[in-house]
């Protein structure tokens, strides 16, 4: 027998996560009170991957700033797989101005960047609602954005490369936020 096969059903044992008993513990969480702000993310595939992750986690909103592409776009849609139609999103011109607006709504602003003042992602105690900001794939976040953030958060990397692909980093950070929110009792539980 091959992995994933069962004698009783003779085929694929994969089912949507919501069909499993394990999903019950996560269903108590409504929308995760997290906004993702992409500041000048240039790759359409990375933007599409953020849409896909945002849909899987159930974040509040995805904000696209500067040169970050917005739907509709075929290459973005290729990795988003329809999530661009299910995730709340909007485009703004300037990320720093958007951070000021979001802070005015009570969001903690976290720059995902390695800096001298960065906290380890796994040690960070986020305040919800939160906004996590991701930057350009090569240049990272701008000095004005880093200055505007309430906290800098870094993902520990142990290899010769000192960073992750921005979309991969987004998945790591967002799932850690989901885990932490659930551990707090999911303040927004239904």
pLDDT at residue 10 above 70? no
The predicted model gives 130-149 an average pLDDT of 97
What is the per-residue pLDDT for 1?
A: 44
Q: What digits encode the pLDDT tens for the residues 101-115?
A: 999 999 999 999 999
Angle between helices 44-57 and 166-183 (to 10 degrees): 10
Q: Which backbone phi and psi does 43 adopt, to 5 degrees? A: -85, 125
CA angle 89/90/96 to nearest 5° reads: 120
What is the per-residue pLDDT for 18?
A: 62
What is the per-residue pLDDT for 162?
A: 85
What is the per-residue pLDDT for 45?
A: 97
Q: What digits encode the pLDDT tens for the residues 88-102?
A: 999 999 999 999 999
Count CB neighbours of 68 within 10 A. Answer: 26
DSSP string, 103-163: HHTTPEEEEES--TTEEETTT----SSEEEEE-BTTTBS-HHHHHH-SEEEE----SSS--
pLDDT at residue 175 above 80? yes
Q: What is the pTM for the complete model shown?
A: 0.88
pLDDT at residue 157 above 80? yes
3-state secondary structure of 62: strand
Q: What digits encode the pLDDT tens for the residues 54-90?
A: 999 999 999 999 999 999 999 999 999 999 999 999 9
Question: Which domains are assigned to the chain?
Answer: 27-183 (3.40.1280.10)
Q: Rounded mean pLDDT of the chain?
A: 90
Given pLDDT bands bounded at 50, 70 and 90, which one contains residue 22? confident
What is the per-residue pLDDT for 161?
A: 87
């Amino acid at each position: 027998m091959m992995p994933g096969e069962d004698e009783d059903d003779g085929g694929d044992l994969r089912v949507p996560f919501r069909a499993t008993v394990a999903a019950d513990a996560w269903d108590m969480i409504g929308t995760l009170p997290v906004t993702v702000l992409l500041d000048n993310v240039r790759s359409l595939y990375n933007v599409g991957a953020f849409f896909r992750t945002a849909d899987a986690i159930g974040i509040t909103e995805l904000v696209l700033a500067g040169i970050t592409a917005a739907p509709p776009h075929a290459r973005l849609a290729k990795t988003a797989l329809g999530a661009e139609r299910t995730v709340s999103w909007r485009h703004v011109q300037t990320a720093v101005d958007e951070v000021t607006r979001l802070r005015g709504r009570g969001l903690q602003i976290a720059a995902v960047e390695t800096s001298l003042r960065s906290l380890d992602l796994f040690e960070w105690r986020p305040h919800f609602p939160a906004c996590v900001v991701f930057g350009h794939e090569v240049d990272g976040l701008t000095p004005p954005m880093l200055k505007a953030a309430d906290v800098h958060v870094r993902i520990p990397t142990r290899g010769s490369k000192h960073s992750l692909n921005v979309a991969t980093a987004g998945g790591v950070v967002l799932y850690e936020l989901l885990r932490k929110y659930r551990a707090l009792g999911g303040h927004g539980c239904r």
